[in-house]
Structure 1
Protein backbone atom coordinates (compact mmCIF):
# COMPACT_ATOMS: atom_id res chain seq x y z
CA UNK A 1 0.00 0.00 0.00
CA UNK A 2 1.36 3.45 -0.89
CA UNK A 3 2.23 5.90 1.85
CA UNK A 4 0.07 9.00 1.91
CA UNK A 5 1.83 12.29 1.38
CA UNK A 6 0.60 15.54 2.86
CA UNK A 7 0.54 18.34 0.28
CA UNK A 8 0.83 21.96 1.25
CA UNK A 9 -0.87 24.46 -1.05
CA UNK A 10 1.27 27.53 -1.55
CA UNK A 11 -1.40 29.45 -3.47
CA UNK A 12 -4.58 30.88 -2.04
CA UNK A 13 -7.86 29.35 -3.24
CA UNK A 14 -8.51 32.50 -5.31
CA UNK A 15 -5.12 32.21 -7.01
CA UNK A 16 -5.71 28.51 -7.70
CA UNK A 17 -9.10 29.33 -9.25
CA UNK A 18 -7.47 31.99 -11.42
CA UNK A 19 -4.73 29.61 -12.54
CA UNK A 20 -7.27 26.91 -13.38
CA UNK A 21 -9.39 29.39 -15.37
CA UNK A 22 -6.34 30.34 -17.44
CA UNK A 23 -5.34 26.72 -18.03
CA UNK A 24 -8.90 25.72 -18.98
CA UNK A 25 -9.09 28.64 -21.40
CA UNK A 26 -5.90 27.70 -23.24
CA UNK A 27 -6.56 23.94 -23.20
CA UNK A 28 -9.01 24.09 -26.13
CA UNK A 29 -7.46 23.66 -29.60
CA UNK A 30 -9.59 26.45 -31.12
CA UNK A 31 -8.63 28.90 -28.38
CA UNK A 32 -4.98 27.88 -28.67
CA UNK A 33 -5.12 28.65 -32.40
CA UNK A 34 -6.68 32.05 -31.66
CA UNK A 35 -3.88 32.79 -29.18
CA UNK A 36 -1.28 31.77 -31.76
CA UNK A 37 -2.81 34.17 -34.29
CA UNK A 38 -3.01 37.01 -31.78
CA UNK A 39 0.59 36.45 -30.72
CA UNK A 40 1.57 37.83 -34.15
CA UNK A 41 -0.49 40.96 -33.58
CA UNK A 42 -4.01 42.32 -33.07
CA UNK A 43 -6.68 41.10 -35.46
CA UNK A 44 -10.33 41.54 -36.27
CA UNK A 45 -12.71 38.58 -36.25
CA UNK A 46 -12.79 38.48 -40.04
CA UNK A 47 -9.02 37.85 -40.12
CA UNK A 48 -9.20 35.31 -37.30
CA UNK A 49 -11.87 33.34 -39.16
CA UNK A 50 -9.46 32.79 -42.04
CA UNK A 51 -7.20 30.82 -39.67
CA UNK A 52 -9.74 29.30 -37.29
CA UNK A 53 -12.16 27.12 -39.20
CA UNK A 54 -15.23 27.34 -36.96
CA UNK A 55 -18.57 29.13 -37.48
CA UNK A 56 -18.64 32.80 -36.47
CA UNK A 57 -20.87 32.26 -33.44
CA UNK A 58 -18.51 29.57 -32.11
CA UNK A 59 -15.48 31.82 -32.66
CA UNK A 60 -17.25 34.57 -30.71
CA UNK A 61 -17.83 32.13 -27.86
CA UNK A 62 -14.14 31.15 -27.76
CA UNK A 63 -13.09 34.82 -27.81
CA UNK A 64 -15.43 35.47 -24.88
CA UNK A 65 -13.83 32.63 -22.90
CA UNK A 66 -10.38 34.11 -23.57
CA UNK A 67 -11.58 37.61 -22.61
CA UNK A 68 -13.15 36.28 -19.40
CA UNK A 69 -9.86 34.59 -18.53
CA UNK A 70 -8.09 37.93 -19.05
CA UNK A 71 -5.91 36.66 -21.88
CA UNK A 72 -7.45 38.69 -24.70
CA UNK A 73 -8.60 42.30 -24.94
CA UNK A 74 -11.03 43.82 -27.41
CA UNK A 75 -11.51 47.30 -28.83
CA UNK A 76 -14.14 48.66 -31.17
CA UNK A 77 -13.12 50.22 -34.49
CA UNK A 78 -16.27 51.45 -36.18
CA UNK A 79 -18.40 48.37 -36.67
CA UNK A 80 -15.43 46.03 -36.28
CA UNK A 81 -14.00 44.64 -33.07
CA UNK A 82 -10.26 44.11 -32.89
CA UNK A 83 -8.79 41.51 -30.54
CA UNK A 84 -5.28 41.41 -29.07
CA UNK A 85 -3.36 39.44 -26.48
CA UNK A 86 -3.57 41.10 -23.09
CA UNK A 87 -0.29 42.73 -22.07
CA UNK A 88 0.19 40.18 -19.30
CA UNK A 89 -1.19 37.12 -21.15
CA UNK A 90 2.14 35.35 -21.54
CA UNK A 91 3.16 35.89 -17.92
CA UNK A 92 -0.30 34.83 -16.68
CA UNK A 93 -0.13 31.60 -18.72
CA UNK A 94 3.34 30.84 -17.36
CA UNK A 95 2.26 31.70 -13.82
CA UNK A 96 -0.72 29.33 -14.06
CA UNK A 97 1.58 26.34 -14.44
CA UNK A 98 2.64 24.50 -11.29
CA UNK A 99 5.74 26.17 -9.96
CA UNK A 100 4.85 29.47 -11.63
CA UNK A 101 4.43 32.59 -9.60
CA UNK A 102 1.01 33.52 -8.19
CA UNK A 103 -1.77 34.63 -10.56
CA UNK A 104 -3.37 37.71 -9.04
CA UNK A 105 -6.25 38.15 -11.47
CA UNK A 106 -9.14 35.68 -11.46
Structure 2
Protein backbone atom coordinates (compact mmCIF):
# COMPACT_ATOMS: atom_id res chain seq x y z
CA UNK A 1 0.00 0.00 0.00
CA UNK A 2 1.35 3.37 -0.97
CA UNK A 3 0.78 6.28 1.42
CA UNK A 4 1.24 9.90 0.32
CA UNK A 5 4.71 11.08 1.35
CA UNK A 6 3.55 13.93 3.61
CA UNK A 7 1.11 11.66 5.43
CA UNK A 8 3.76 8.98 5.79
CA UNK A 9 6.10 11.51 7.45
CA UNK A 10 3.37 12.64 9.84
CA UNK A 11 2.63 9.02 10.80
CA UNK A 12 6.33 8.42 11.44
CA UNK A 13 6.48 11.47 13.73
CA UNK A 14 3.66 9.92 15.78
CA UNK A 15 5.65 6.67 16.09
CA UNK A 16 4.08 4.68 13.28
CA UNK A 17 0.75 2.98 12.72
CA UNK A 18 1.17 0.80 15.84
CA UNK A 19 1.44 3.92 18.04
CA UNK A 20 -1.71 5.33 16.44
CA UNK A 21 -3.53 2.07 17.22
CA UNK A 22 -2.34 2.24 20.85
CA UNK A 23 -4.05 5.63 21.21
CA UNK A 24 -7.49 4.23 20.36
CA UNK A 25 -9.92 3.56 23.22
CA UNK A 26 -10.27 -0.13 24.07
CA UNK A 27 -12.97 -2.18 22.34
CA UNK A 28 -15.30 -2.15 25.35
CA UNK A 29 -15.23 1.65 25.48
CA UNK A 30 -16.01 1.88 21.76
CA UNK A 31 -18.92 -0.57 22.18
CA UNK A 32 -20.21 1.56 25.06
CA UNK A 33 -19.92 4.71 22.94
CA UNK A 34 -21.72 2.99 20.08
CA UNK A 35 -24.67 2.11 22.34
CA UNK A 36 -24.84 5.66 23.70
CA UNK A 37 -24.80 7.15 20.21
CA UNK A 38 -27.55 4.71 19.19
CA UNK A 39 -29.59 5.91 22.19
CA UNK A 40 -28.97 9.50 21.08
CA UNK A 41 -30.07 8.78 17.50
CA UNK A 42 -33.80 9.24 18.15
CA UNK A 43 -35.40 12.70 18.03
CA UNK A 44 -37.82 11.67 20.80
CA UNK A 45 -34.98 10.58 23.08
CA UNK A 46 -33.10 13.79 22.33
CA UNK A 47 -36.25 15.74 23.18
CA UNK A 48 -36.51 13.86 26.48
CA UNK A 49 -32.88 14.63 27.31
CA UNK A 50 -33.36 18.29 26.47
CA UNK A 51 -36.53 18.44 28.56
CA UNK A 52 -34.70 16.93 31.51
CA UNK A 53 -31.88 19.45 31.08
CA UNK A 54 -34.48 22.12 31.93
CA UNK A 55 -36.25 20.32 34.78
CA UNK A 56 -36.53 16.79 36.24
CA UNK A 57 -39.94 15.44 35.19
CA UNK A 58 -42.29 12.53 35.74
CA UNK A 59 -43.30 10.25 32.87
CA UNK A 60 -46.80 11.78 32.65
CA UNK A 61 -45.37 15.24 31.86
CA UNK A 62 -42.81 13.81 29.43
CA UNK A 63 -45.61 11.86 27.72
CA UNK A 64 -47.79 14.97 27.41
CA UNK A 65 -44.96 17.03 25.88
CA UNK A 66 -43.66 14.31 23.52
CA UNK A 67 -47.17 13.08 22.60
CA UNK A 68 -45.87 9.51 22.88
CA UNK A 69 -47.91 6.46 23.88
CA UNK A 70 -47.14 5.05 27.34
CA UNK A 71 -45.51 1.90 25.90
CA UNK A 72 -43.29 3.85 23.49
CA UNK A 73 -42.33 6.31 26.20
CA UNK A 74 -41.45 3.43 28.52
CA UNK A 75 -39.21 1.99 25.78
CA UNK A 76 -37.42 5.31 25.26
CA UNK A 77 -36.99 5.93 28.99
CA UNK A 78 -35.60 2.40 29.43
CA UNK A 79 -33.08 2.91 26.65
CA UNK A 80 -31.91 6.19 28.13
CA UNK A 81 -31.75 4.69 31.63
CA UNK A 82 -29.89 1.57 30.48
CA UNK A 83 -27.27 3.75 28.81
CA UNK A 84 -26.82 5.85 31.97
CA UNK A 85 -28.10 9.03 30.34
CA UNK A 86 -31.03 9.48 32.73
CA UNK A 87 -32.04 8.13 36.13
CA UNK A 88 -35.34 7.75 37.89
CA UNK A 89 -35.97 8.63 41.51
CA UNK A 90 -38.95 6.68 42.84
CA UNK A 91 -41.18 8.27 45.44
CA UNK A 92 -44.20 6.09 46.10
CA UNK A 93 -45.80 5.31 42.75
CA UNK A 94 -44.11 8.29 41.03
CA UNK A 95 -40.77 8.26 39.26
CA UNK A 96 -39.07 11.56 38.60
CA UNK A 97 -36.52 11.36 35.80
CA UNK A 98 -33.42 13.52 35.64
CA UNK A 99 -30.20 13.65 33.66
CA UNK A 100 -27.16 11.77 34.89
CA UNK A 101 -23.79 13.45 34.66
CA UNK A 102 -23.17 11.51 31.45
CA UNK A 103 -26.53 12.60 30.03
CA UNK A 104 -25.80 16.20 30.96
CA UNK A 105 -22.50 16.07 29.06
CA UNK A 106 -24.17 14.86 25.88
CA UNK A 107 -27.03 17.37 26.03
CA UNK A 108 -24.90 20.36 26.86
CA UNK A 109 -22.32 19.70 24.13
CA UNK A 110 -22.48 22.32 21.44
CA UNK A 111 -21.69 20.55 18.23
TM-score tier (shorter)? 0.7 to 0.9
Unaligned runs of 5+ in 1: 95-106
TM-score by length of 2: 0.73
Q: Which runs of 4+ in 1 moved over 6 A?
A: none
Instruction: Provide the rounded CA distance (Å) in 2 between the counterparts of 1:52 and 1:88.
Output: 22
Q: Secondary structure at the match of 1:88?
A: helix
| 1:57-76 to 2 correspondences below 5 Å | 57-76=71-90
Please point out which of 91, 94, 97 is paired with 1:77: 91
Unaligned runs of 5+ in 2: 4-16
TM-score by length of 1: 0.76
More helix by share: 2
Structure 1 partner of 2:49: 35
Q: Larger Rg: 1 or 2?
A: 2
Aligned alpha-carbon RMSD (Å): 2.5
Structure 1 partner of 2:36: 22
